[in-house]
Amino acid sequence: MTEDRRARKKRETRQSLRLAALRLVDAHGLEHVTVEMIAESADVSPRTFFNYFPTKEDALVGPGPEAAADVARFCLDRPDGEPAAAVLRALVLDRTAAFLGHSEELDLQKRVLATNPGLYAGFHAGFQEIERALRLEMGRRSGLDPERDLYPRLLAATGGAAIRSAMELSRAGDRRTLSLIVEEAFDLLEAGLAAAPPARRAAPSRRRRTAAIAKTA
Amino acid sequence: MTEDRRARKKRETRQSLRLAALRLVDAHGLEHVTVEMIAESADVSPRTFFNYFPTKEDALVGPGPEAAADVARFCLDRPDGEPAAAVLRALVLDRTAAFLGHSEELDLQKRVLATNPGLYAGFHAGFQEIERALRLEMGRRSGLDPERDLYPRLLAATGGAAIRSAMELSRAGDRRTLSLIVEEAFDLLEAGLAAAPPARRAAPSRRRRTAAIAKTA
DNA sequence: ACGCAGGGTTGCAGTCCGTGCAACTCTGCA
DNA sequence: TGCAGAGTTGCACGGACTGCAACCCTGCGT
């Protein structure tokens, strides 16, 4: 009984509210959708909405309650000796792939985000909660203190930066798949920040390089 | 006449509001300060407050209107051949040092941030606007397209991640100066993400290392 | 000196968000 | 069958934020 009736109902209501919010905003635009409408459409009282989400935006782009736990679980499942940076790469790729999937919720969320860039702030803010779980794991893997050492923190934050950059680039018109872009990002990060990829017009270097596929004339 | 009477008054009012907001929040706590009080204390109407800041939080932690321009200027002043990553490092250090300075505004802001961690979200959100300016410069320096290439984006985002990590670590109790922590962050980033510093108990490696100063037993 | 134009400020009225509280209902259990 | 605790709801309230229209004031041309 991992989930009794109560818990199930709660989860359903939450999901119901989230979907209602996404559908309405997708249809009418963020500013024309009120919490009242969302609650109405999910068939609960407006007051109840706030028992589930602290703000309207959270219903749209907040991390699910499982997010942090998912991350932790993923890390735990990785081979024991694997270094922190490798786990991070795998994790980010995994999350990215998940985001690339299809479902009504995901598709709506992508459209809503695209239509309403202002929501990206809240979306990324949600990462922070996840970064905390991540930081702990990065500490464990690297034998450092997740609280007092810089490296685990920096790894976690950099993971977020990589995702963000990849998503923005994708939004800016890069037609490659998100996963590919993320791979490039990690190639760059692992090569070291100072190692710039060759400039646009330069001949491709002799190393295999996921990067720098010209898509301009 | 880079600044006529009108412009000066406007700047003054803005600053006045910001200071009033910081002082009041520092004294009474974020939740007990209303826009009305802030306006009152700055001697303008509440309505006017919103002509200057879109939200209460913006008055406290929003980036000044000069921020992006400052960043651009700093980059322009750097020697011409200097690679993007080096400029980034210098820039971040410079901003950090600026943040470390003293003035009523800065001190209040630091205290207010410390007392009220919820504001960090908005504070970091302000970076995004700055990252845009930064991205352009990073593109120029690396001969890449700031819009279509990943590297400039990643650099800019990573700069933000470095600052954030450093600030969090400092907040978590690291007694070193912020600038020092930032240096360590860039050392790590330039060495490449995969190059983990030695674990806690290992003997210090033979390289000079800004990092890993144990402060636990 | 006068008046005009445009930018800045204000008050007003209104909408919606978000919260504390107390009453109610429902579920699971003894 | 009754009880305890979790979840839901209504109510009332304070405060954020916005659009609008009127006002004021500064700089400028005549």
Q: Average of pLDDT values for B57-71? A: 94
Q: Indicate yes or no: CB of A194 within 8 angstroms of CB of B88.
A: no
Q: Which of B24-28, B42-46, B212-216 has the lowest mean pLDDT?
A: B212-216
Interface test with B, best of A123, A132, A150, A169 (most B CBs within 10 A): A150
Residue B41 at interface with chain A, using a CB cutoff of 8 Å = no
List Cβ<8 Å contacts ≥24 apart for A34-43.
A42/A13, A42/A16, A42/A17, A43/A16
More confidently predicted of B133 and A196: B133
For residue A89, the distance in angstroms to the closest alpha carbon of chain B comes to 10
Rounded to whole angstroms, the distance from the CA of residue A4 to the C1' of nucleotide C28 is 10
**What residue of B is the nearest CA neighbor of A119?**
B125
**What residue of B is the nearest CA neighbor of A173?**
B148
- Chain B partners within 8 Å of A61 (Cβ): none
Residue A196 pLDDT grade (very low, low, confident, very high; cuts 50, 70, 90): confident
Is the confidence at residue B17, as pLDDT, over 80? yes
d(CA A124, CA A59) in angstroms, rounded, equals 14
Q: Indicate yes or no: CB of A143 within 8 angstroms of CB of B211.
A: no
Q: Which residue's alpha carbon is at the shortest distance from the C1' of C12?
A: B47
Q: Which residues, at least 6 apart from A181, have a Cβ–Cβ distance to it below 8 Å?
A: A166, A169, A170, A174, B150
What pLDDT, on the 0 to 100 scale, is given for residue A201?
56
Burial per residue of A153-185, b for 16 or more beta-carbon CB atoms within 10 angstroms, e otherwise? bbbbbbbbbbbbbbbbbbeeebebebbbbbbbb
Q: Estimate the crossing angle of helix A119-142 against helix A150-171, to 10 degrees.
A: 140
What pLDDT, on the 0 to 100 scale, is given for residue A209?
43
What pLDDT, on the 0 to 100 scale, is given for residue A202?
47
Please report which residue ranges of A33-177 form alpha helices under DSSP H: 35-42, 46-52, 56-61, 67-76, 84-100, 104-115, 119-142, 150-171
Tokens for B61, please give them.
């932690």
- Chain A partners within 8 Å of B151 (Cβ): 188, 196-197, 211
Domains contained in chain B, CATH given: 5-57 (1.10.10.60), 67-191 (1.10.357.10)
Q: Indicate yes or no: CB of B84 within 8 angstroms of CB of A149.
A: no
Asked if residue B149 lies in contact with residue B158, where contact means CB atoms within 8 angstroms, the answer is no
Asked if residue B93 lies in contact with residue B179, where contact means CB atoms within 8 angstroms, the answer is yes
What pLDDT, on the 0 to 100 scale, is given for residue A205?
43
> What values do phi and psi take at A169, rounded to 5?
-60, -40
What pLDDT, on the 0 to 100 scale, is given for residue B7?
85
Residue contacts between A and B (CB atoms, under 8 Å):
151
- Chain A partners within 8 Å of B192 (Cβ): 189-192
The DSSP secondary-structure symbol of B117 reads G
DSSP string, A31-52: GG--HHHHHHHHTS-HHHHHHH
Residue B13 at interface with chain A, using a CB cutoff of 8 Å = no
For residue B43, the distance in angstroms to the closest alpha carbon of chain A comes to 32
Q: Which amino acid is at A60?
A: L
SS3 content of chain B, % helix, strand, coil (to 5): 70, 0, 30
Residue with tokens 């006017």: B48
